Amino acid sequence: MRILRAWECNIDREIVKLKQQLSLLDGLATNHRKTVLKIIHDVRNLGDKAIVKYSKCFDKVSLSPDEFRVIDKEIEDSYKKISLPFVKSIQRAISNIRAYQEHIKIRNVGPLKANGVVLDTLYTPLESVGVYVPGGAASYPSTVLMNTVPAKVAGVDKIVMTTPPAKDGSIPPERLVAAREAGVNEIYKVGGAQAIAALAFGTKTIPKVDKIVGPGNIFVTLAKKEIFGYAGIDMLAGPSEVLIIADDRANPSFVASDMLSQAEHTPGISILVTFSESLVKQVKTALKQQISKLNRQEDTRKCLDKFGVIILTKNIDECVEIANALAPEHLQIMTQNPRTVLSGIKHAGAIFLGAYTPVAVGDYIAGPSHVLPTSGTARFSSGLSANDFLKRSSVITYSRPALKEAYKDVAEISEAEGLDAHIQSVQIRLNPRSGF
């Protein structure tokens, strides 16, 4: 793990390097674009036949189109394979997510009225959403909840989930139970770029949706980038990342545990920014002690060595400047007065204040979605919420006197643009005998 002292290096240059490391689309990512384009082309033109081909190629699973969809019995059987406490935890998480999303959901506002003009705003939910849930080493039931519940709160009628199966065609029971509890309507055993293409264009078996959300590997993310416009997407998510601002009173064991919780994502990026030399020494000791107790200690250690960074600064203000420059997905503030530090923060996906607020509560139970902007995109985007599943329509009403009042301005601007028909569309309403 690298240790950078801001006064010994060109910190601006080092921040640029860190941004490149955080960037999803730098480096090898662009080399996969041809593969992704080929998959999208084939799925769009060959439909289910291409899904069968690529599922066998990438997921090593042989499924016919009539086996793509998860049947009710599979979901019912999944409840028998998990514990009741797990189901209760999922239900409590759903309750918290729903409460928060309902709290922040945009409501229709009253009309704006003035001199014969009525301006309304109408918010309507999307009709259908596709949720992609990755496979791999973990089951990711939390990903199901954090993408599905906000959509349900928004009022989306149809939620379709795709997720890669194991080689035997099964889906982890935790994932299926989470989907049932959260209100997913249909589940398909399809992963990778082929799943994204199927949701974007539809096949005989898998329905087309209006928007696709959920994280995935580089192929999934590039596929989302390529199909945007045929369907909406949430974001292009890169590796999970945390930046921790800590002072000399922070608990080094807490700091180390939070760095490790990101590193175990493999890849996961852990950055500690502090002005305390003593804290750095204690955190390094705590990391060695804690990592030896992890189930995935080897992979986590390698990830921390490659993607872990400690930046020593002169003061807390410099810590804040670095955090704003990096615009991290997760920002933890473990200082004596975290809300004072918060006042200087401009860019972060989710912010966790105080010693007793680890990222894990945001990942699983707090309520805000853990689908967050990565790779510095928190400078211009936000985490997923119910509002991302709503569309806004303007509703405009003019009376005849109001149109007459607006005529001169419409005429001036449309004449400047050389659009005569625009002027005529007003004139004909004000003077039906004008010859139009």
Positions marked active-site:
329-330
Closest CA to 188 of 69, 57, 37: 69
Q: What angle do CA 69, 218, 38 make, to 5 degrees?
A: 70
Inter-residue contact 394 to 121 (CB < 8 Å): yes
Count of residues in the chain: 436
> C-alpha distances in angstroms, 159 versus 78, 110, 244?
20, 30, 36
Please state, in angstroms and as integers, the Cα–Cα distance from residue 156 to each residue in 185, 386, 390, following that order. Answer: 11, 10, 9
- Cβ(344)–Cβ(317) below 8 Å: yes
CA 7 → CA 4, 10, 170, 199, distances in Å?
A: 9, 8, 54, 50
CA gap 232, 225 in Å, rounded: 10
Classify residue 202 as left (phi > 0), alpha (psi -120 to 50) or beta: left
For residues 153 and 388, give the distance between their C-alpha atoms in angstroms, rounded to a whole number: 11
The C-alpha angle 153, 226, 69, rounded to 5 degrees, equals 55
